[in-house]
């Protein structure tokens, strides 16, 4: 089975490949939700790097990420 790599759906921007930045904080690492008292981004833990592709910008749906997305929501 052929594995095709494409643009990461969770990167901030990019046309053919993502830019590797977290789309929730736009790569700043800070929490942009003004109603929250947590200073760092909850999705990238303050790193600013996309957690789906680890900053690579490309993603294959067949890659094993090693985490369950539903479990990640409840951490």
Model confidence pLDDT, tens digit, residues 21-32: 998 898 899 888
For residue 23, the number of C-alpha atoms closer than 13 Å in the C-beta half-sphere is: 11
User: pLDDT, tens digit, for every residue of 32-71?
Assistant: 887 778 889 888 998 999 988 888 888 776 655 555 555 5
Nearest to 19 by CA among 60, 52, 43: 52
For residue 43, the number of C-alpha atoms closer than 13 Å in the C-beta half-sphere is: 22
């Amino acid at each position: 089975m052929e594995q095709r790599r494409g643009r990461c759906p969770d990167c901030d921007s990019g046309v053919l490949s993502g830019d590797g930045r977290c789309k929730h904080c736009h790569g700043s690492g800070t929490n942009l939700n003004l109603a929250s008292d947590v200073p760092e981004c909850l999705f990238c833990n303050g790193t600013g790097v996309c957690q789906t592709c680890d900053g690579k910008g490309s993603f294959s749906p067949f890659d094993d990420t090693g985490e369950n997305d539903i479990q990640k929501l409840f951490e």
